[in-house]
Structure 1
Amino acid sequence: MADELELLRRANPVPVDGPHFGDGPLDHHAERRLDRLMRERIASRRPRLVWGLAAAAVVAALVSALLFTGQTTAPAIAAPRPLLVQADSTPVSLKTLAERARAAAADGSPKLRKGTHVQSWSMGMSEDEPPITLPEERIVRWKADDSHTELVVATDPRHPGRPVLGGDGELVEDGHVLSRRTYPPSWSDAPPESRPPHDAARLHDYLEEAERAYLSDHSAPLNTSELLDATKILLDHWTLGARESAALARLLADAEGLRPAGQVTDRLGRRGQAYVYDRSDTREMLIMDPATGAVLGLETTFTQTEPEYGVKAGDVMSYSAWMR
């Protein structure tokens, strides 16, 4: 319990000098801190995300949909299988990819854009129900006055048109709107809200600052695990331009333990080069565009079987696919 309390104190989604939200929703900064808290629990203990009643809701939804409504189309509820590296493909080193990215960025196109478009799959677990995977697509667009909109829908591009699990574990139609929000103007000058640089050294400092709120040792440089976490934070806020992608590829090329694995086809049908990093009980697979060095996706899989949670080694914990 002491360890968990310490994690909560470090997460502190609403600091004493911050705005008070009462019973309203958390802002992006608070949500990001809570997300990091869950990932710290995964890293420090056994992987576990608690969805409690969500799995029970799935059972009820399936019974209702398949027995009482006469629905004959099978819902798209199966968890994704881990991406497979093409057996006869030749791995490309990150240093080579970084050079390709630098050459591709020579004309400065495409440009950096604030906002993101991401498809994700995330697994939820409990001790007494089987794990479930929630597929969502999120689009964030910023306006000229620094306000922005966020649209989140339940959809699985692997099974277009088939029912999927919604945010609370209920069965919904493909494309069901989970949330549609408009946020007032924000003029934060701190990462990740501030504009990311396209110089590798400055980008490292930027990512370090974006990740610093979640680090127990603020004086240590980012390790590979933290760099991948910071990369996800960055891509969940910005659609990188060619120069920023080249700077990020340069940083990743120097990351210890991130090794080339070969070619993969991601869950959106895009060809990419895979780079793998092993954590204590999970494995990260980073997928990058072989020509431009842009990050296409990041997959986390379990490397240990957890029978008490219904999890097997190789199961996908989460996957994010970023688009322009």
Structure 2
Amino acid sequence: MPDELDLLRHANPVPSDGPYFGDGPLDHRAERQLDRLLHRPRPTRRTPRARLLWGLAATGVVLATALTVLLGGPNTQPALAAPRPLTVRAHSTPVPLAQLAELADAAAAGGSPRLRKGTHVQSWSLGMTEGKPPVTLPEERVVRWRADDSHTELVVATDPRRPGRPVLTDAGGDPRLVADGHVLSRTTYPPSWSDAPPEAPPPHTPAALRAYLAETVRTDSLTTPQLLDALAVVLDHWMLGARESAAVVRVLADAEGLRPLGQVTDRLGRPGQAYVYGGEGGGGRRMLILDPRTGAVLGLETTFTQAEPEYGVEAGDVMEYSAWMR
């Protein structure tokens, strides 16, 4: 029987050089990851932001691969086909972030919708192990908080691109197909009274929100990649209100390197404006999708910019994707 301390030393869901909760208490997602690491084989390699897990993941997508060898039978292929990277609508007009910020401010004047604790997110994540084909693990996660500060988390296997079709998930480290809507976990967590980001309510003024986001990823100098990471963390805890969304767009407008691309339709069929960061070198390309009327964050997509043949990955393949809903 392995020594439990040795297992814990090798099962760090929050590495010291990572952006999330580096020296603070684990949140419920990190606790789930710790449990996975304790009881399942560790991946042989990790890539930034693509959490290389065979289990539950917060966000993303994966390239289409020939997984019939792994899972058997041609009937599995429709459930395994991965979405292509989002494409900008031809001849659409890019909207600068400063212009979208004005629209978001106007939309926030009525004060609705309001900030709400909890999240509703659909994600696709890339699971990679050297020597095996990568797999797509789609899931939907709903977190609801109660008046006593306890909360529940429901995670189901579902892919809105193929309603009613079987969905790939993991089972002790081995991918398998389950029915659409299969409950992966249903958990109730005790009250939490943390007053630090992202548990604390996000502010609705740009300066205060920028400081809040910097504290979320524990940095004094918020770079654009860190800003996008921090937004993802906050959106996994909060459904932003109109005022908070407007403040987000103001902060994004001051970020370096975010370029407007034009109109896209996200993976839930919603119209959005796309803004991209990166795309050169091996750091990955991040695409942020914002509501064209309110500036609310709809989704975040990361794609590979370099091929990694040992993992079956080609340049342009999608690494991960999250779509947030109210």
Deviation readout 1:256-283 (Å, 9 max, x if unpaired): 0000000000000000000000164210
The number of equivalent residue pairs is 291
Report if the CA contact (8 A) 2:164-2:180 is conserved.
yes
Aligned ranges 1:69-218 → 2 under 5 Å: 75-168=78-171, 169-212=175-218, 218=219
Question: What residue ranges of structure 1 are gaps of 5+ in the alignment?
Answer: 20-25, 53-57, 213-217
Report if the CA contact (8 A) 1:303-1:314 is conserved.
yes
Deviation readout 1:86-138 (Å, 9 max, x if unpaired): 01100000110011001100011000000000000000111111110100000
Provide the secondary structure at the position in 2 that maps to 1:269.
coil
Report if the CA contact (8 A) 2:19-2:217 is conserved.
no
**Structure 1 pair 30–224 and aligned structure 2 pair: CA distance change class (3 A):** farther
**Structure 1 pair 244–51 and aligned structure 2 pair: CA distance change class (3 A):** same
The one-letter code of the counterpart of 2:47 is I
Deviation readout 1:168-209 (Å, 9 max, x if unpaired): 421101110000000011111010001110011001111111
TM-score normalised to structure 1 length: 0.82
For residue 33 of structure 1, report the CA deviation from its aligned partner.
Answer: 9.9
Of 12, 15, 18, the residue aligned with 1:8 is 15
Report if the CA contact (8 A) 1:100-1:291 is conserved.
yes
The one-letter code of the counterpart of 1:122 is S
Q: Following the alignment from structure 1 to structure 2, what is the Cα–Cα distance between the partners of residues 15 and 155?
A: 31
**Structure 1 pair 100–33 and aligned structure 2 pair: CA distance change class (3 A):** farther
Report if the CA contact (8 A) 2:121-2:325 is conserved.
yes
Which structure has the highest helix share of the two?
1
What is residue 28 of structure 2 aligned with on the other side?
27
**Structure 1 pair 92–13 and aligned structure 2 pair: CA distance change class (3 A):** closer
The one-letter code of the counterpart of 2:190 is P
**Structure 1 pair 173–273 and aligned structure 2 pair: CA distance change class (3 A):** same
**Structure 1 pair 232–14 and aligned structure 2 pair: CA distance change class (3 A):** closer
Report if the CA contact (8 A) 2:114-2:240 is conserved.
yes
What is residue 42 of structure 1 aligned with on the other side?
47
The one-letter code of the counterpart of 1:111 is R
Q: Following the alignment from structure 2 to structure 1, what is the Cα–Cα distance between the partners of residues 231 and 108?
A: 19
What is residue 22 of structure 1 aligned with on the other side?
none
Report if the CA contact (8 A) 1:11-1:33 is conserved.
no
TM-score normalised to structure 2 length: 0.81
Q: Following the alignment from structure 2 to structure 1, what is the Cα–Cα distance between the partners of residues 148 and 112?
A: 24
**Structure 1 pair 107–164 and aligned structure 2 pair: CA distance change class (3 A):** same
Provide the secondary structure at the position in 2 that maps to 1:251.
helix
Q: Following the alignment from structure 2 to structure 1, what is the Cα–Cα distance between the partners of residues 24 and 225?
A: 30
Provide the secondary structure at the position in 1 that maps to 2:112.
coil
Provide the secondary structure at the position in 1 that maps to 2:294.
coil
Provide the secondary structure at the position in 1 that maps to 2:87.
coil
Q: Following the alignment from structure 2 to structure 1, what is the Cα–Cα distance between the partners of residues 19 and 276?
A: 31
For residue 302 of structure 1, report the CA deviation from its aligned partner.
Answer: 0.5
**Structure 1 pair 272–191 and aligned structure 2 pair: CA distance change class (3 A):** same
Q: Following the alignment from structure 2 to structure 1, what is the Cα–Cα distance between the partners of residues 51 and 324?
A: 25
